[in-house]
Amino acid sequence: MIASLGVAAKTVFEDIVLYNNGSFLIPLFLIALLFLWVTEKNKSTRVALVYLVTALAFVFLCPIYVWVGMKIDAAIYYRVFWALPMGVIVCFCAVKLMMRFRNIISRGLVFLLAILVICMNGDLVYTKTLHFRSVNAYHMPQQVIDVAEALRLEHYQPIAVLPAELLPFFRQYTADIFTPYGRNILEPAWSFSNALYDAMEGDGTYYDAVEVARCARDEHCVYVVLSCAKQIRGGMEDQNYFLLDFVQGYYIYMDYNYYDVLKEQGLLDDDVIAAGEAAR
């Protein structure tokens, strides 16, 4: 038990270093908190911004609490630091320090110094390599939206299997289309497995049409979406699928078994029926 607590303490220390990320965010927060401990006289403010925040910090750093949190999910334990209002404490402290000066010039200098310190403590987000200009109101890749719209049915919510690169965004756009697995399967720490996912992503160069079709039917998928970046060994048409559409580099296949049933029940849109009949 003692050894486990020692490991937990070491891990949380590493998380703090990573969370600080080479900046002086945490030291600045601790300085601001200490300043409020000494100078803040309002009881309500002390309870909200001094006592409560200090108690939260001690709880999160408690080895027993850390040990329990690490048992639940060590990979995301750092998120408990989000509960600490570091930005609120630092900004409140800066304003309080500024108001201690009566001269407007002195207040202005303190204000400018606070802005400079905050700016030096971070990076301009628009210089990050992962930042890119939004191409739509949803702030997600346009191909996700176009594929989702091609799959959507007015009177039925189908199940569709998608390439892995679409999964992180797809549910953000629509809940009208079900998937046999979501973005959680992409996280190795969660240890999820699925035969259909293996058939879709097991090989980086081609799809095995027979295996994909078999697994997709096991998962009751109406649609199978395949990337044009990979070759298809065999043909989906040979597995009783037809090509419904080609959208933004993705082939959208529909299972004729579901097509016939949904058509008979009057659940298909006219353009889907037209595509299915044309492909026969």
Torsion on CA atoms 145, 251, 258, 274, rounded to nearest 10: 90
Tokens 């999160």 found at: 60
Provide the pLDDT for residue 8.
65
Query: Tell me, what's the pLDDT at 7?
Result: 66
Query: Is there a contact between 268 and 262 (Cβ–Cβ < 8 Å)?
Result: yes
- C-alpha pair distances (Å), 49 with each of 40, 79, 127: 9, 20, 33
Model confidence at 12, pLDDT cuts 50, 70, 90, reads confident
Q: Give 140's contacts (C-beta < 8 A, 6+ positions apart).
A: 169, 172, 173
- The mean of the pLDDT values for the chain is 89
Q: What is the mean pLDDT of residues 109-128?
A: 82
Q: State pLDDT tens for residues 18-38.
A: 888 878 888 999 999 999 999
Contacts of 1 (CB under 8 A, 6+ apart): none
CA 279 to CA 247: how far, in whole Å?
A: 17
25-39 and 52-61 helices, crossing angle to 10°:
140
- Residues 170-199 have pLDDT tens digits of 989 999 999 999 888 887 767 788 999 999
Give the chain's end-to-end CA distance (angstroms, integer). 67
Q: Is the pTM of this model over 0.85?
A: no
